[in-house]
Amino acid sequence: MRCYKIWILVILLFVWGCIMGLEQSLSEETKEGEPSQKDQIELVIRLDDPGFCHSANMGLKKILEQGTCSSVSVIVATPWLDEVAELLRSHPEVSVGAHLVLNSEWKEFKWGPVSPYTEVSSIVDAFGKFFGSRRELMAQAPKVEEVEKELRAQIDLGLKKGLNFAYCDYHMGAAVNALEFQEIVEKLAGEYRIGISRYFGEKDTESIYSVPPDKKTDKAIEVLENLPPGRHLMVCHPGMNYPEMAAMTDLNSFGLKEMSVHRQAETDALCDPGFREVIRKRGIKLINYNHLRKEELHLMTRPFTAKPLEEVVRQARMEKKLERADEAGKK
């Protein structure tokens, strides 16, 4: 009798093992032509800067209607916010982020804070507008409490305008340029229960930003063709080559000439049939921050740690001093 029970137990363990093995096999099995989970390529296509001008909004509109994207990062401290907010109401398929901004890089088109500029005086120039670059901002030794006040105001304004923020990120890195700023962004994300772009393990793809306009589409396709398995982030800057955008000059030394032509080319690349085809052919899974916020908010991890504010301010002031000395030497 005892031997019989042992044999029953052995048989049950064998059956259980077979079932577990089958479940594991089924979990890894995919439909014909689809990659297995371990070979899956996940991709967030994030569009930055809509809201700052009409041309940027129209570039976004074209991509939403004819092209490919999964997330849109909106600047709210800018004049064309209402237009992009209305546009995005018709496109719930994309996730929307707060493109937190502390600088205004266009010479002919300056914006300032959402907060009254008198209440955030350490982050604005004499005219109540944001500085043109991170270095100019940091050289003013911005007050941490004023940075938090302004970034919170930007999120609140976007929410009031009907933007259902799933995440936030940072325009040109200014909002995370110092450790104390980075901690503010993380604190606000926790309070508002939203994600932070790049905190979900997304690795940036090769950028097409500086690629010549006539080569951007081919380069974008090449980037997709060479993506390895894993989770990736492709950041693009939509726009249309309208006179409005063509008139703008980037105050930063690394700014592109004919910026509107470049942004039109990025828009065209994301609308190119070949771009969509390589996504389909390779089985690339487009994901957005609505999904990541719902499923992985608790898994967010800081991808880098910024330098302390005091150190960043000291470096910015030193660089400005050297720049002035260099300019004086050329006169």
Alpha-carbon gap, residue 223 to 234, rounded angstroms: 9
pLDDT over 60 at 22, yes or no: no
- Rounded CA-CA distance 232/40 in Å is 11
Q: For residue 233, list its beta bridge partners.
A: 44, 204
Residue spans of alpha helices (H) in 46-169 = 54-66, 81-89, 134-139, 144-160
Residue 100: which of 164, 31, 49, 138 has the closest Cα? 49
Question: Taking Cα atoms as reference points, which of 53, 7, 33, 38 lies closest to residue 238?
Answer: 53
In angstroms, how far is the first alpha carbon of the chain from the final one?
Answer: 105
**Claim: this prediction has a pTM higher than 0.75:** yes
At 36 the pLDDT is 57
Give the domains, in start order, of the chain with CATH numbers: 37-330 (3.20.20.370)
Q: What is the mean pLDDT of residues 102-112?
A: 96
Q: Do the beta carbons of residue 113 and residue 180 sit within 8 Å? A: no
Contact yes or no for 147/102 (Cβ under 8 A): yes
pLDDT beyond 50 at 316: yes
Band of pLDDT at residue 35, cut at 50, 70 and 90: low
Contact, 186 vs 302, CB < 8 A?
yes
CB half-sphere exposure, 247, CA atoms < 13 A: 9
Which tokens is 77 given?
């401290």
Average pLDDT, stretch 45-57? 98
- pLDDT category of residue 324 using cuts at 50, 70 and 90: confident
Q: pLDDT, tens digit, for every residue of 139-166?
A: 999 999 999 999 999 999 999 999 999 9
Write the pLDDT tens digit of every residue in 187-232. Answer: 999 999 999 999 999 999 999 999 999 999 999 999 999 999 999 9
CB 236 within 8 A of CB 261: no
Q: For 16-30, 87-101, 159-173, 313-327, which range has the lowest pLDDT when averaged over its residues? A: 16-30
Dist. CA 30–CA 229, nearest whole Å: 16
Model confidence pLDDT, tens digit, residues 245-269: 999 999 888 889 999 999 999 999 9
How high is the mean pLDDT of the chain? 91
Say which amino acid occupies 54. Answer: H
Non-local (6+) Cβ contacts of 319 within 8 A are: 135
Mean pLDDT along residues 62-80: 97
